[in-house]
Structure 1
């Protein structure tokens, strides 16, 4: 498993326009008002580019929490 030098929390916070301190494992669209459907797609694309991975449709649909996003990345060999 590779460890990424990209700061996951900072990257997510930038896309969602929130403070990195708000990026907790249980944070979801309800907890982060900036996490809209459009921003979800932007977030996925940003993560794909930053970590050089590809999310399939089910992963995009199901990764609705910070923990869920981390889980998808872990299945692709990225430890964040």
Structure 2
């Protein structure tokens, strides 16, 4: 599953509406609760663990993609 699909499912929107800049400031449905769900589903989907600092600092799809790449995951 691609990261756009994860985010779109959590935000209940079309995956085509998800871009690298999608995050708190861009999408009204990206709330703190949605953020936690995105991080949790990402961990489960890719079999990784994210620290609380990583979760807090990842505020957009692009930032999440960069974080995943740093962990050896192509998303």
- Which residue, out of 65, 69, 77, partners 2:64? 69
Unaligned runs of 5+ in 1: 1-5
2:34 aligned residue: 39
Residue from 4, 27, 32 that aligns with 1:9:
4
Shift of 1:7: 2.3
Q: Does the 8 Å CA contact 1:44/1:60 hold for their aligned counterparts?
A: yes
RMSD value over aligned CA atoms? 0.9
5+ residue gaps, structure 2: none
Equivalent residue runs for 1:48-63 within 5 Å: 48-63=43-58
Considering fraction of residues, name the structure with more strand. Answer: 1
Query: How many correspondences in the alignment?
Result: 75
The answer (yes or no) to whether the contact 1:73–1:79 under 8 Å persists in 2 is yes
Give 3-state SS (helix, strand or coil) of 2:10's partner.
Answer: helix
- In the TM superposition, structure 1's runs of 4+ consecutive aligned residues that sit over 2 Å from their partners are none
Supply the distance in 1 between the matched residues of 2:47 and 2:15 (Cα, whole angstroms): 22
